[in-house]
Structure 1
Amino acid sequence: MSPTPPISTPHHDPRGQPSAWVARFAPLVARGGAVLDVASGGGRHARLFHGLGHPVTAVDIDPRGVADLAGQPGITILQADLEGEAPVALGGPYAGIVVTNYLHRPLLPRLPGLLTPGGVLLYETFAQGNQRHGRPSSSAFLLRDGELLDLARETGLQVVAFEQGETALPRAAVVQRLAAVRPLAAPDLDGDPEPRPLPLA
């Protein structure tokens, strides 16, 4: 699988350009819908979605990277340890959830349930095989082969796009990327939740 455009990572440029993957699929998020930026770091994706007119909740254990956004209309900063013993109340529902360069497996199955019907999950982080390129190298922080696809299937998300493989910039890495949507309810053609019986001839 050929790599997509370069990915910025918090390890190199925490206040830099948004991930090309996230920027590519950002238009799928309903206009004006609330967005959750998980492990927001320097806030590059909080800034992206806020600039597109979305109210954004940025959650991180260290909120200093988004301190300059504090008090701005449409910005909520949540300081929280996502890996603590007690699950963090993340609010919602959200029209979009963004996670990049972060993996805490107990959090994964919670994310689809925080989406509105039609809500979009955009996820991109390191995967198994990255060990040969350096950090992260622990399996705790590397997605297993097809793990994001499995998450989508197990939680009923519709996969829009998925990629897995090598990327060269800003440094060599092995990554996995997912864009997936929580399905809308499917009414019948009349818009009713249950089909109406046909009249007798």
Structure 2
Amino acid sequence: MINEGALRITASSDESLPAAWVRRFAGLIPAHGEVLDLACGSGRHARFLAGLGYAVEAVDRNPQALAALHGVSRVSPRQADLEVDPWPFAGRSFAGIVVTNYLYRARLDELLACLANPGVLIYETFMVGNERFGKPSNPDFLLRPQEMLGWLQGRDWRVVAFEEGEVDVPRPAVVQRLCAARGALVGRL
């Protein structure tokens, strides 16, 4: 486990590129597995993962953002409001789940139940302290210190890497990042 605690984190400054955290751990997702890109926005991670050979289900509530994914090989866009609509992935299983810049705690257990064994969760979003940099600033959408680690309590998963702290790029923010594996790691770093 890599636990770099609270630190200043830097990464690529181009917001159209996949997040460095996602690029770093995507290779751990089991080959030939389907990946869920939750709250995908315009699909920067869906495109990246499809380029690695994964079939990707990319879900977002914004139909204009999803329109950019229609016709992208290996990507299946799906419009759903994850905070209002019924959970669209009941009974589904994904070899990888990628979530960035999104937090809706009410669906967290349903989301984590969708991770296959073996499978890899790659998650990065904002935490308390981000309010001094702007949005999100609502505590409902900000993680508490080491909150992601608590998600794994009572689960037969292991932490591959965890970070929390201030970042400078793509813009100043306070974030928390987790890569966790369920079952054997079959990919490579």
TM class by smaller structure? 0.7 to 0.9
Contact 1:63 1:77 in 2 (8 A): no
Instruction: Tell me which amino acid in the other structure corresponds to 1:36.
Output: L
Normalising by structure 2, we get a TM-score of 0.87
Residue equivalent to 2:89: 89
Name stretches of at least 5 consecutive residues in structure 1 with no aligned partner: 185-201
Paired residue secondary structure (1:17): coil
Paired residue secondary structure (1:153): coil
Task: Name the CA shift for 1:118/1:3 in 2 (closer, same or farther; >3 Å).
Answer: farther
Question: Equivalent residues in 2 for 1:105-184 (5 A)?
Answer: 105-184=105-184
Task: Tell me by how many angstroms 1:63 deviates.
Answer: 3.1
Task: Tell me by how many angstroms 1:92 deviates.
Answer: 2.7
Q: Tell me the distance in 1 between the aligned counterparts of 2:162 and 2:45.
A: 19
Name stretches of at least 5 consecutive residues in structure 2 with no aligned partner: 1-5, 185-189
Deviations 1:4-42 (A, max 9, x none): 33266xxx84xx000000100000001121100000001
Q: Does residue 11 of structure 2 align to residue 6 of structure 1?
A: yes
User: Aligned Cα RMSD in Å?
Assistant: 1.9
Task: Tell me by how many angstroms 1:101 deviates.
Answer: 0.2
Q: Tell me the distance in 1 between the aligned counterparts of 2:126 and 2:95.
A: 24
Paired residue secondary structure (1:3): strand
Residue equivalent to 1:191: none
Residue equivalent to 1:33: 33
Larger Rg: 1
Task: Name the CA shift for 1:34/1:77 in 2 (closer, same or farther; >3 Å).
Answer: same
Percentage of pairs with the same residue: 48
Deviations 1:73-113 (A, max 9, x none): 42211110100163333663111000000000011112221
